[in-house]
A and B are shown apart, each in its own frame.
Chain A
Amino acid sequence: MYVAAKGGEKAIRNAHKLLAKRRRGNENLPSVTLEQIAAQLTLAVDRVMAEGSLYDTHLAALAIKQARGDLIEAIFLIRAFRTTLPRFGNSRPLDTGDMLVRRRVSATFKDLPGGQLLGPTFDYTHRLLDTSLAVPDEAGEVDDQAGAAAMRADEADPAEKMPRVTDLIGAEGLIEASPADDGEEPFDITRAPVSFPVDRATRLQTLARGDEGYLLALGYSTQRGYARSHPFVGEIRFGDVEVILDVPELGFPVSIGEVQLTECQMVNQFKGSAEQPPQFTRGYGLVFGQCERKAMSMALVERALRWAELGEEPGAPAQDEEFVLSHCDNVQATGFVEHLKLPHYVDFQAELDLVRRMRREASGRTPADEMKEAAE
Chain B
Amino acid sequence: MPQTSENHSQDNEIAARRAALATLARARRDELESMIERLSPLPAASELRPAEVGLVMLRGRTGGDGAPFNLGEATVSRAAIRLEGGATGFGYRLGRDVAAARRGAVIDALWQDPARREAVEAALAPVRARLVAEAGTVRAETAATKVDFFTLVRGED
Q: Which residues of A contact B (CB under 8 A)?
A: 49-50, 53-56, 58-59, 82, 85-94, 96-97, 100-103, 110-111, 115-119, 150-158, 164, 166-167, 177-182, 184, 186-190, 200-202, 204-205, 208-209, 239-240, 243, 245, 247, 249-250, 252-259, 261, 263, 265, 282, 284, 286, 288
How far apart are A302's CB and chain B's nearest CB, in angstroms? 9
With A181-B61, A201-B70 known as contacts, the answer to whether A88 contacts B25 (CB < 8 A) is: no
**Min CB–CB distance A151 → chain B (angstroms):** 4
Q: A153-B144, A257-B95, A265-B64 are in contact. Are A102 and B138 (CB under 8 A)?
A: yes
Residues of A within 8 A of B56 (CB): 87-91, 243, 245, 256
Q: Cβ of B147: which chain A residues have Cβ within 8 Å of it?
A: 115-118
Segment at the interface with A among B33-41, B71-79, B113-121, B122-130: B71-79
Q: Are B60's CB and A153's CB within 8 A?
A: no
Q: In the docked arrangement, what's the CA distance between A288 and B64, Å?
A: 14
Mark interface residues in B42-78 (1 if CB within 8 Å of A CB, else 0): 0000000000111111111111111111111111101
**Max chain B CB contacts within 10 Å: which of A115, A119, A164, A256?**
A256
Interface residues on B, range: 35 or more
B25 x A256 contact (CB < 8 A): yes
Cβ 8 A contact of B146, one of A86, A117, A258: A117
Distance between Cα atoms of A117 and B151 in the complex (Å): 17
- Determine whether B143 belongs to the interface, using a CB cutoff of 8 Å to chain A: yes
Question: What are 29 inter-chain pairs, A to B, with CB distance below 8 A?
Answer: A54-B55, A55-B72, A55-B74, A59-B96, A85-B55, A90-B70, A91-B59, A93-B60, A93-B61, A93-B68, A101-B142, A103-B145, A110-B150, A110-B151, A116-B148, A118-B146, A153-B140, A155-B143, A158-B139, A186-B59, A188-B70, A201-B62, A208-B71, A252-B14, A254-B18, A256-B25, A257-B93, A265-B64, A288-B71
Q: Are B63 and A55 touching (Cβ within 8 A)?
A: no
Q: How many A-B residue pairs have CB under 8 A?
A: 239
In the complex, A247 Cα to B52 Cα: how many Å? Answer: 15
Whether, in the assembled complex, B135 has its beta carbon less than 8 Å from a beta carbon of chain A, the answer is: yes
Contacts of A265 in B (CB 8 A): 63-64
Within 8 Å of chain A (Cβ to Cβ): is B83?
A: no
A156 touches B59 (CB 8 A): no
Shortest distance between the CB of B69 and any CB in chain A (Å): 4
Cβ-defined partner of B62 (8 Å) among A102, A178, A188: A178
B26 within 8 A of A: yes
Q: Are B67 and A87 in contact (CB under 8 A)?
A: no
Judge whether A249 and B90 touch: CB under 8 Å: yes
Is there contact, CB below 8 Å, between A151 and B141? yes
Residues in B whose Cβ lies below 8 Å from that of A156 = 136, 139-140, 142-143
Chain B residues whose CB sits within 8 angstroms of the CB of A255 once the complex forms: 18, 21-22, 25
- Measured in the bound complex, the distance between the Cα atoms of B57 and A190 in whole Å is 10
Q: Are B75 and A56 in contact (CB under 8 A)?
A: yes
A87 and B73 within 8 A (CB): yes
Q: Is the beta-carbon distance between B58 and A201 smaller than 8 angstroms?
A: no
- Residue in B55, B146, B148 whose beta carbon sits within 8 Å of that of A87 in the complex: B55
* A249 vs B108: C-alpha distance when bound (angstroms): 14
Q: Which of the residues A54, A100, A102 comes within 8 Å of B72, measured between beta carbons?
A: A54
Set A86, A164, A259: member contacting B58, Cβ < 8 A: A259
Q: Which residues of B sit under 8 angstroms from A153, Cβ to Cβ?
A: 140-141, 143-144, 146
- Decide: A82 and B95 in contact? CB cutoff 8 A: no
- Is the beta-carbon distance between A179 and B67 smaller than 8 angstroms? yes
B64 touches which of A50, A97, A155 (Cβ 8 Å) = A97
The interface residues of chain A lying within 8 Å CB-to-CB of B60 are 93-94, 96, 204, 208, 261, 286
Q: Which of B55, B70, B139 contacts A86 (CB 8 A)?
A: B55
Closest to B131 in A: A258
Q: How far is the CA of A19 from the CA of B52 in the complex (A)?
A: 32
CB of B83 to closest CB in A, whole Å? 16
Tell me how far the C-beta of B33 lies from the nearest C-beta in chain A, rounded to whole angstroms: 19
| Residue B98 interfacial (CB < 8 Å) | no
Asked if B111 is at the interface of the complex by the 8 Å CB criterion, the answer is: no
B57 touches A263 (CB 8 A): no
Contacts of B63 in A (CB 8 A): 166, 177-179, 265, 282, 284
* B9 contacts partner chain A, Cβ-Cβ < 8 Å: no
Given the interface pairs A54-B75, A102-B142, A116-B146, the reply to whether A254 lies near B92 with Cβ below 8 Å is yes
